[in-house]
């Protein structure tokens, strides 16, 4: 066993830390017609996301290993990044890593998959510190599932889970040691760099990885990788208060000497909420959908219109929250707000704590303050149900 446990003295200059990012895979299991490191996660590709995380670590030079077919694309993509070179891969992952290592001489080298974009700077830095101190730092997480060995006839044999870990990348090494290992062993059957290192006579050492530091491999991984799109909507409405009308707010009839004037029941709170929902979903507002010239909507309960709006948005969107404020000098609304929330939560089929309503006055200012009308503002947050 070769010694790899020497610690750097405090007077030693800081080691040069390089990185090899492997992007030369065929991406066959992902179902994509192109290299999965070019898959967009939000506004950036997986590879750019990885490079952005590396930029927050001591890594000062990087070799990105690409297949010959993707080299032009990947060269364009990495051109804004400093000290990043593109190297042609080999016919196996191990050969690709070796090509990257040769192109990136340094003291400590981080080897990472280009399709593992959720790595954190902390894991990278911990693996570098471990490699400086012990010679290597291999990110790994404790096995959660119970592993079994299965023979050709489907017969299972238990494997004790105690002490079992799943290795990830980054896998970080003293450059001289991993180069020595790659130069001296038959790495053809090795499935990761820690195995090559171990075969070379060195001792791979664990650093804690993370369960979300996953590698994009299958089509399902691609779907999980894309953050759900969220949209905010805003709505506002005001109606005049007049005698001889029922006052309906949030679908609840409130005893009062006046009611709101309108073509429908003039439920100003539900109108603001509907416009917020429609706005978030980029749909036309209620004035367009339910015009006051249409006899079908004469005296209609606004909660019925709300059900119509929900029918338009809920196939694509999930309602994450609605927050509204009713602005009225009179009547006082605090006691009726819980009923409004219950009613709207039931109609919208969302948890009660996702519907919030507050009430305020305008300190007797303006048409609201004079008691001539009631206004309402609403905002909502929708999230896309699937990509």
Minimum CB distance to Mg ion smaller for 205 or for 271: 271
Minimum CB distance to Mg ion smaller for 61 or for 263: 263
Minimum CB distance to Mg ion smaller for 271 or for 341: 271
* Residue among 248, 278, 277 nearest 262 (CA): 248
Burial call 242-269: b when 16+ CB within 10 Å, e when fewer: eeebebbbbbbebeeebbbebebbbbbb
CA–CA distance, 367 with 387 (Å, rounded to integer): 45
CA–CA distance, 236 with 312 (Å, rounded to integer): 20
Of 237, 265, 329, 377, which lies in the binding site for Mg ion, with binding defined by CB under 5 A? 237
Minimum CB distance to Mg ion smaller for 127 or for 376: 376
Minimum CB distance to Mg ion smaller for 210 or for 289: 289
Q: What minimum distance in Å lies between the beta carbon of 260 and Mg ion? A: 8
CA–CA distance, 329 with 367 (Å, rounded to integer): 10
Which range in 195-203, 252-260, 269-277, 355-363 contacts Mg ion by CB under 5 A?
269-277
Query: Per CB under 5 A, does 271 bind Mg ion?
Result: yes
Minimum CB distance to Mg ion smaller for 116 or for 271: 271
Minimum CB distance to Mg ion smaller for 258 or for 271: 271
Is residue 58 a contact partner of residue 69, using CB atoms and an 8 Å limit? no
CA–CA distance, 280 with 301 (Å, rounded to integer): 23
Number of residues near Mg ion (by CB under 5 A): 2
Q: What minimum distance in Å lies between the beta carbon of 248 and Mg ion? A: 12
Enumerate the β-bridge partners of residue 377: 236, 325
Sheet containing 355-360, strands listed edge to edge, beginning at the edge strand earlier in sequence: 258-260, 230-243, 373-384, 317-327, 355-360
Residue 148, phi then psi, degrees to nearest 5: -135, 145
* Binders of Mg ion in range 287-326 (CB under 5 A): none
Q: The tokens of 216 are what?
A: 């994009």
Q: Which pairs count as long-range contacts for 193-196, CB under 8 Å and 24+ apart, including other chains? A: 193/94, 193/97, 193/111, 194/136, 194/138, 194/167, 196/94
Which range in 69-77, 158-166, 267-275, 371-379 contacts Mg ion by CB under 5 A?
267-275
Q: What minimum distance in Å lies between the beta carbon of 266 and Mg ion? A: 6
Q: What minimum distance in Å lies between the beta carbon of 278 and Mg ion? A: 13
Which range in 52-60, 268-276, 288-296, 317-325 contacts Mg ion by CB under 5 A?
268-276
Q: The tokens of 80 are what?
A: 């804004």
Q: The tokens of 163 are what?
A: 């002490």
Query: Per CB under 5 A, does 267 bind Mg ion?
Result: no
Q: What minimum distance in Å lies between the beta carbon of 56 and Mg ion? A: 50
Which range in 12-20, 223-231, 270-278, 338-346 contacts Mg ion by CB under 5 A?
270-278
Q: What minimum distance in Å lies between the beta carbon of 271 and Mg ion? A: 4
Minimum CB distance to Mg ion smaller for 52 or for 253: 253
Q: What minimum distance in Å lies between the beta carbon of 207 and Mg ion? A: 60
Cβ-Cβ contacts under 8 Å for 344 (sequence gap 6 or more): 250, 251, 270, 273, 306, 322, 355, 357
- Nearest position to Mg ion, beta carbon: 271
Which range in 37-45, 65-73, 105-113, 231-239 contacts Mg ion by CB under 5 A?
231-239
Residues found near Mg ion in the complex (CB under 5 A): 237, 271
């Amino acid at each position: 066993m070769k010694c790899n446990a020497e610690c750097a003295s405090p007077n030693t200059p800081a080691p040069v830390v390089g990185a090899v990012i492997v992007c030369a895979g065929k991406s066959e299991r992902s179902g994509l017609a192109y290299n999965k490191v070019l898959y967009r996660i939000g506004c950036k590709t997986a590879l750019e996301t990885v490079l952005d995380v590396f930029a927050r670590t001591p890594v000062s030079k990087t070799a990105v290993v690409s297949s010959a077919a993707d080299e032009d694309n990947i060269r364009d993509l990495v051109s804004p990044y400093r000290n990043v070179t593109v190297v042609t891969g080999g016919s196996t992952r191990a050969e690709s890593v070796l090509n990257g290592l040769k192109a990136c001489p340094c003291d400590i080298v981080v080897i990472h998959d280009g399709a593992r974009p959720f790595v954190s700077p902390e894991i990278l830095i911990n693996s570098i510190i471990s490699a400086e101190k012990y010679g290597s730092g291999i990110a790994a997480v404790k096995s959660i599932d119970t592993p079994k060995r299965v023979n050709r006839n489907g017969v299972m044999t238990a494997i004790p889970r105690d002490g079992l870990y799943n290795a990830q990348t980054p896998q970080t090494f003293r450059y001289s040691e991993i180069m020595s290992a790659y130069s001296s062993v038959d790495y053809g059957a090795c499935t990761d760099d820690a195995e090559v290192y171990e075969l070379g006579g060195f001792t791979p050492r664990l650093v804690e990885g993370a369960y979300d530091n996953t590698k994009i491999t299958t089509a399902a991984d691609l779907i999980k990788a894309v953050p759900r799109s969220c949209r905010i909507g805003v709505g506002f409405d005001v109606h005049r208060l007049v005698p001889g009308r029922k006052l309906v707010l949030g679908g609840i009839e409130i005893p009062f000497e006046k009611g709101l004037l309108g073509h429908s029941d003039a439920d100003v709170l539900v109108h603001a909420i509907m416009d917020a929902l429609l706005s978030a979903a980029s749909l036309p507002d209620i004035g367009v959908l339910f015009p006051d010239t249409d006899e079908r909507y004469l005296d209609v309960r606004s909660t019925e219109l709300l059900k119509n709006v929900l029918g338009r948005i809920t196939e694509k969107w999930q309602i994450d929250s609605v927050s509204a404020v009713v602005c009225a000098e009179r009547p006082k609304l605090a006691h009726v707000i819980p009923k409004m929330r219950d009613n709207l939560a039931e109609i919208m089929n969302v948890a009660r704590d996702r519907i919030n309503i507050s009430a305020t006055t305008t300190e007797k200012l303006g048409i609201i303050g004079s008691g001539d009308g009631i206004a309402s503002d609403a905002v909502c947050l929708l999230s896309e149900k699937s990509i």
